[in-house]
Structure 1
Amino acid sequence: MQHPTSADIQRVREFLLDLQARICAGLEQQEQAGGGNAKFIIDDWQRHEGGGGRSRILQEGVVIEKGGVMFSHIDIAQLPPSATERHPELAGTQAQALGVSLVIHPKNPNVPTSHANVRLFVAQKEGQKPIWWFGGGFDLTPFYANDEDCTAWHQKAHDLCEPFGDDVYDRHKKWCDDYFYLKHRDEQRGIGGLFFDDLNEWDFETCFKYIQAVGNGYLEAILPIFQKNQDKPYTDEQREFQLYRRGRYVEFNLIYDRGTIFGLQSGGRTESILVSLPNLVSWAYRKEWDEHSAEKRLTDYYLKPRNWLSLNIQ
């Protein structure tokens, strides 16, 4: 197996920083198109333990209520339990991790919340060859969904996976459905997309090309959804439902999300780790939605794993 050199890691770092900048620029354009002028502020930071990152945050926009697009490249003196649970052979190992992770919470309930991340992990014991893998994916969490957006999102995921193997989309789509599941609620967080971890089944260069495709694919998939939905009118009741559903998002990120757990256990920068949480959220006592309402259809139809590519969209 090809092992990454310091030059390889630097190439990944450069791609990630460029990806972060391009995603922020694309989302800022959508904010401006909606009549807003909010921009991503840049917050560079360093860790005493080694490494650092660049946090880019947009808050209180007209289109985007809160968005965080985070780059980090950190050194880890000793891997935390969240990293060694699946890899006990790495206990006590030094490592470095670099990646871009983002969550975008739109203001309009007709625009879904979206999440993406791509990352590289490299661990090495003294005198041994490094162990490495990539991870990442993207997923969509709608409030007032429609079949066209769900199908387009999954079509982009399918198309970017296709050059890497006929089964890649199916495997990583299922992994996403299985991962973004709230066990205590018995429901999916959203309509899924792609999720993968421990990716080193190909050579390093092919794996790197795959995370490039995933990172670039997020922006290509989300911008048309913003353009289509961000100017739609909505009611106070729809806004209330959006805040209610955001509660599920918070529950998943704080209880199950590997990235959140790893970041906190590895001594990461708490403010950057928890930037995925929306500024406004509600845990109102559960209402019984009308059987034929859009709110009821969200959980009964959209938040069920399904083959979105099989829909016949006219």
Structure 2
Amino acid sequence: MMQSEKERASGWFRQLRDEIVAAFEGLEDSQDSGPTADRAPGRFEVTETRREAPAGGDAGGGLMSVMRGGRVFEKVGVNVSTVYGELGAEAQAAMAARKGLPGMKDDPRFWASGISLVAHMQNPHCPAVHMNTRMFWTPHGWWFGGGSDLNPCIEYAEDTTHFHAVQKAHCDPHGAGEYDRLKAWADEYFYIPHRHRARGVGGIFLDDHCTGDWEADFAFVQDIGRAFLPAYLPLIEKRRVQPWDEADKDAQLVHRGLYAEYNLVYDRGTKFGLATGHDANAVLMSLPPMAKWT
């Protein structure tokens, strides 16, 4: 049942979570100018989450870490979880259709572990961001997925260039053309059909990834996770001191409306988390604290 591999993957996602939480709290500590600098530095509130098993019993859970009203972050969540059990009929059908697994009905067991992050910023010049990496197992196969994408309400070409360059540098060791493939996948996945536009400036996205070489695939998803902090932190360190006005804040709130629409209507992770009984607050952590629609 790949128990050792499952433990390694789950441990890695927890390690990545700890590194990101420490880095984000470090940003809060070092913010010493701007309209929010007189606040106490933000800290993550950590809550244990549990998955509801339909038949009762232990079905796993994780940690929901949320910071609200900080100096730099208006709301940021960094969740990590490891859940298991049996997929319901709807999830079985979706899995069978997407992965071509008719056997799911006969043996619907699953195990899933991952980290999911969404950050909404105080300063409208600081881009919002999403990142996740995950592993999914059933008796019929295992897969990895993950990626990150940048969601500025006020776009800066040099920020987009930096974000993508770091992603590419971490993808290139895993094969020529991998960055281009994952970038194109992100452009397609993070598109909002009813608005006829992307929700941000893209990034990388990988799903259902299984070459048959678990070690190679695990190394790839680790590098996707490792790319996040060097891709994102320099942008925040640069933009967090930039002056902003009410028009900038209004643009941010309208853009957040797009983000909320995408996550509630299209995001696979949101649908899976709610369908499998995971803590609803953790699943919906990605929603912004405030948004508006014109």
TM-score by length of 2: 0.91
What's the counterpart of residue 160 of structure 1? 170
Pick one of 40, 44, 47 that aligns with 2:48. Answer: 44
Moved over 6 A (4+): none
What's the counterpart of residue 159 of structure 2? 149
Paired letter, 2:45: I
CA distance in 1, matches of 2:154, 2:51: 40
Pick one of 85, 95, 99 that aligns with 1:83. Answer: 95
Paired letter, 1:108: N
CA distance in 2, matches of 1:110, 1:221: 16
Secondary structure in 1 matching 2:98: coil
What's the counterpart of residue 254 of structure 1? 264
What's the counterpart of residue 106 of structure 1? 121
C-alpha displacement of 1:145: 1.4
Cα deviations by residue, 1:10-62 (Å, 9 ceiling, x for unpaired): 01111111100100111111112224511111111223421111111101112
C-alpha displacement of 1:254: 0.4
Change (3 A) 1:84 1:68: farther
Cα deviations by residue, 1:73-132 (Å, 9 ceiling, x for unpaired): 1113125144333134253311011000010001110011000000000001xxxxx400
Paired letter, 2:75: K
Does residue 115 (structure 1) correspond to residue 130 (structure 2)? The answer is: yes
Paired letter, 2:69: E
Paired letter, 1:38: G
CA distance in 1, matches of 2:278, 2:97: 18
Secondary structure in 1 matching 2:154: coil
What's the counterpart of residue 11 of structure 2? 14
C-alpha displacement of 1:222: 0.6
What's the counterpart of residue 231 of structure 2? 221
CA distance in 2, matches of 1:76, 1:153: 37
Does residue 212 (structure 1) correspond to residue 215 (structure 2)? The answer is: no
State whether residues 167 and 227 of structure 2, in contact with CA within 8 Å, keep that contact through their aligned partners in structure 1: yes
Paired letter, 1:153: F
TM-score by length of 1: 0.85
CA distance in 2, matches of 1:205, 1:245: 39
State whether residues 76 and 266 of structure 1, in contact with CA within 8 Å, keep that contact through their aligned partners in structure 2: no
State whether residues 74 and 120 of structure 2, in contact with CA within 8 Å, keep that contact through their aligned partners in structure 1: yes
C-alpha displacement of 1:214: 0.8
RMSD: 1.3
Change (3 A) 1:219 1:19: same
CA distance in 2, matches of 1:66, 1:82: 32
Greater mean alpha carbon deviation, residues 28-37 or residues 273-282: 28-37
Does residue 26 (structure 1) correspond to residue 36 (structure 2)? The answer is: no
What's the counterpart of residue 197 of structure 2? 187
Q: How many residues align?
A: 276
State whether residues 83 and 262 of structure 1, in contact with CA within 8 Å, keep that contact through their aligned partners in structure 2: no
Give percent identity, aligned residues only. Answer: 36
Change (3 A) 1:62 1:91: same
Pick one of 252, 255, 258 that aligns with 1:245. Answer: 255
CA distance in 1, matches of 2:169, 2:72: 28
Alignment gaps of 5+ in structure 1: 125-129, 286-314
State whether residues 143 and 245 of structure 1, in contact with CA within 8 Å, keep that contact through their aligned partners in structure 2: yes
Does residue 94 (structure 1) correspond to residue 109 (structure 2)? The answer is: yes
Paired letter, 2:79: M
CA distance in 1, matches of 2:180, 2:216: 19
State whether residues 50 and 278 of structure 2, in contact with CA within 8 Å, keep that contact through their aligned partners in structure 1: no
CA distance in 1, matches of 2:282, 2:243: 32
CA distance in 1, matches of 2:237, 2:271: 34
Change (3 A) 1:151 1:264: same
CA distance in 1, matches of 2:291, 2:30: 25
CA distance in 2, matches of 1:267, 1:224: 37
Alignment gaps of 5+ in structure 2: 32-36, 54-58
